[in-house]
A and B are shown apart, each in its own frame.
Chain A
């Protein structure tokens, strides 16, 4: 059986090397070389919505989507891709090289990974002593606009029962992980509690003052 080979474009996003089927790549441009008029796209990050307009191609900043710190010393590149029936552009830090890989060098990502990971990186390239995730551009498109779900690490949308919430908050406090959000949320409650206590202190103080005056008059 012939060992079909695939041409893969290897590129850099932050400190991460990724790969892409070369047949999807229409052109590569220096990001700085494109004038504002030529930037016929709305720059899209994960949370924003794409402004669809005729002639515009969506540009996805992979560093922002993947949470990678972009490299500061490199001139950014924009890769124009053709996927299915439309085009999209990916902004990356650096385009490295083209490699030829056989089927035996490419493995599907393990089913233990969630759908989002497997949608964006369905395959992995085995290269000597390291691995390169192979990007699915359409997966990135879906990821850029899909809402954060309860599967996302660190996001919990289910309801806690009181004991569970108390355990969680106690652990977070002990681990010094109390987030600013929690402090803000609880600040009003704390302020009200302090105000109530201060109100009680004030009552006691006034009562003592009154007792003091009464005692003074008697004397």
Chain B
């Protein structure tokens, strides 16, 4: 990974992707031929003085769905809508905005009345073999998990998102933002970047899932 600021986190939360971004100066993400999925947060633009977007690597996103049947689970926090059956997997459905403690659109607003979409996000443990080819098992690395073992640990989350989902090619000109009062749960976020359309938020998905 480059020394520059980055706006594309690794498929499974590669720590190089967003760690300590606030202390770095350069402006451009230097990965080429990479794509990311961007969608607006369902939060009022006024809270941040600019539209907030969530960013995911294209390899994290498994499917974009119009609607699913969601089964609520008693005693679950408000950011979890419930669980759904997706490709024979039981997948939790959540609201990223509520999870991060962000202000959300009032129910009666026109934005909320637009039909939402659901994105299935794959979550792998850190140091995905896709980003980092597995080291051979050796005396120096006796506890390294095989790719198959890591795949067993992967999980999925389904996010309810605004319908305007797009794919954007990297690099994205942006500037890291160190202080964002409009994200109360800052520890669940890898990085926040200001770009021409507002703000890009890279969420620490593995922390959420675990």
Contact = CB atoms under 8 A, between A and B. Distances in A.
A62 B88 CA distance: 29
Interface stretch (A27-35, A103-111, A190-198): A103-111
A107 B92 contact: no
Interface string B99-120: 0000100100000000000000
Contacts of A153: 76-78
Nearest to A68: B74
A111 B76 CA distance: 11
A109 B90 contact: yes
Nearest to A171: B103
Given A153-B78, A154-B78, A112 B94 contact: yes
A175 B107 CA distance: 9
Contacts of A114: 75-77
Nearest to A67: B74
A126 B85 contact: yes
Given A111-B209, A131-B85, A175-B106, A126 B90 contact: yes
Contact of B83 (A110, A116, A129): A110
Nearest to A132: B71
B74 A131 contact: no
25 contacts: A66-B74, A107-B89, A107-B90, A109-B83, A109-B90, A110-B91, A110-B92, A111-B155, A112-B94, A112-B157, A112-B208, A112-B209, A114-B75, A114-B77, A117-B74, A121-B74, A129-B85, A131-B71, A131-B83, A131-B84, A131-B85, A131-B90, A133-B73, A153-B77, A153-B78
